A = this chain, B = another copy of it.
């Protein structure tokens, strides 16, 4: 558990502030994360990494000469938002473009992909490489589905080295991808971890057992077996990883990482390395520059992983090259050579000025504000329950993610409304703030939904049931296009579709907004509850849904709660006006 915190919601931000203060000679704070203190030289590809907080030194601790140019810093165990990634990329991009590289998790993939689209749209060349080193997270035939763990370090080092060699964007991306293809990791967990401010562990491992292949957010592994003596653990890890030797891994030289996840300490990691060393030698492998320590953690989780990268000549150069970041330092780096960074690049993602709409439109904007505040209030009230539901199959952050998003949305909506904005602008500002602050998959989707609603409804006046129903249908379409989820996948789509369909049907029958919305909300609630009984189809977005049989989906539940709360607000206005 965490012992040092003020407020769980502020944890990641406050920690990031302290991190930057402690390393201000090396990194600078930019919107969305951190960047090297020195500017990226012209002609050099900028490497942008990122992911959730709670994995230090991943990700911000790996920003500096020899590794990354910037890191997007998501909230606790939550992907950074697309806006965050874009902001960091803008801050570090030279004319040579940006490589985005990150561990392969659904929320990260969603947000980094959106960021890539936006960067390209802005004329910044962008490529992406997802790290997929965890051999226990999917079969060898589905390597693209595997998660990224400590192999991040190998791929990030390769990308940073290639960029600093002056390779162009395609070549840097290809080299990082090559590093990923040659990197394999396997982890074991002995205990779970407790998120800051949480009363219960996010996940646990039975006492005396070890979960082989368990992920760094508690994703299920391949088997749970009794804890073995170190020499047997060494054999298990080594055998499994050597059985996955990559096709192109024909050379006998390898880089090795023994990574501690949190409370397995250095003494134990060294002991394990000592036990693995002879096994690798017996397998005919020569170890180049072993790394034993913490490179990707999961708060105080007790666990560790073994990573092997099969080197070729260039990869060996990259692996052995100097680096100087807050958390990873190696060899001799000329610290005086880099030019100073320009002042922080901001601008494009800033709030801008609100143009006041007419009186009727501003009144509609004020209603939207009330509606968004009602969402914030119900999420504040149910945050623990949502977290509990999510912890059953996911990483337990749905409640706090929704809370961050809804709070930020309400704040942005209040600012817009008090400046006289109409409904469309209030919704758009709320959506931008939600995605920016919440991070993660649900943050991206809620942000997208509110922005779509805003665009559809516009600032012209007070929208009626038909306009709103059409806007909701558009938002639903955008969410399905982006999230790739269908009904039955146990996502918020399971509640959103019945809600949208009922709303459209009632609007076409000529019902008023408040009545139609409230009835549709009832349909959403029923559908959310019914997700408990869904046989999930194990879609790409929720590979571990099998764990949640019998439990309603937290995304569907929070959606139903939100639309129900909004219905109450609409009802109240309706009563006041009638």
Contact = CB atoms under 8 A, between A and B. Distances in A.
Interface of A: 2-7, 11-12, 14-19, 21-22, 53-54, 56-57, 61, 190, 196, 210, 227, 229-231, 233, 258, 262-275, 277, 290-292, 297, 299-300, 302, 304, 327, 329-335
Given A262-B265, A265-B300, A271 B3 contact: no
B4 A56 contact: no
Given A57-B266, A262-B265, A335-B331, A4 B272 contact: yes
Contact of A329 (B268, B277, B329): B329
A18 B292 contact: yes
Given A6-B229, A275-B18, A329-B329, A61 B268 contact: no
B230 A267 contact: no
Contacts of A263: 262-263, 300
Contacts of A4: 230, 233, 264, 268-269, 271-272, 304
Contact of A15 (B15, B17, B258, B274): B274
Contact of A332 (B17, B304, B332): B332
A14 to B, nearest CB: 5
A5 B230 contact: yes
21 contacts: A3-B210, A3-B264, A3-B302, A4-B269, A5-B230, A6-B275, A14-B230, A14-B271, A15-B268, A15-B270, A18-B273, A18-B275, A18-B292, A19-B270, A21-B273, A22-B258, A56-B267, A262-B265, A267-B299, A331-B335, A332-B335
A209 to B, nearest CB: 11
Given A277-B21, A300-B263, A5 B56 contact: no
B5 A268 contact: yes
A297 B294 CA distance: 14
Nearest to A22: B292
B54 A267 contact: yes
List of 6 A-B pairs having minimum Cβ-Cβ separation, nearest first: A18-B274, A18-B270, A4-B268, A56-B266, A329-B329, A263-B300
A265 B299 contact: yes
B332 A274 contact: no
A230 B270 contact: no
Given A4-B264, A329-B329, A271 B56 contact: no
B53 A266 contact: no
A42 to B, nearest CB: 25
Contacts of A22: 258, 270, 273, 290-292
A316 to B, nearest CB: 15
A61 B190 CA distance: 25
Given A265-B297, A332-B335, A18 B272 contact: yes
A196 B5 CA distance: 30
Contacts of A272: 4, 18
A331 B300 CA distance: 29
Contacts of A18: 269-275, 277, 292
B333 A268 contact: no
A189 B256 CA distance: 34
A299 B260 CA distance: 13
Contacts of A262: 263, 265
A5 B228 CA distance: 9
Contacts of A334: 332
A554 to B, nearest CB: 24
A221 to B, nearest CB: 15
**Interface-centre pick from A54, A210, A230, A233 (highest chain B CB count, 10 A):** A230
A342 to B, nearest CB: 25
Contacts of A12: 267
Nearest to A297: B265
Contacts of A302: 3, 300
A569 to B, nearest CB: 34
A438 to B, nearest CB: 19
Contacts of A274: 14-15, 17-18, 21
A266 B61 contact: yes
A300 B271 CA distance: 16
A233 to B, nearest CB: 7
A3 B267 contact: no
A289 to B, nearest CB: 8
A256 to B, nearest CB: 9
A491 B277 CA distance: 43
Contacts of A15: 267-268, 270-271, 274
Contact of A190 (B3, B265, B297): B3
A263 B300 CA distance: 5
A517 to B, nearest CB: 41
Nearest to A232: B6
Contacts of A333: 332
A291 B333 CA distance: 20
B300 A267 contact: no
A201 B448 CA distance: 50
A267 B1 CA distance: 12
A172 to B, nearest CB: 26
Contacts of A56: 265-267, 270
A193 to B, nearest CB: 9
A105 to B, nearest CB: 18
A461 to B, nearest CB: 47
A275 B270 CA distance: 34
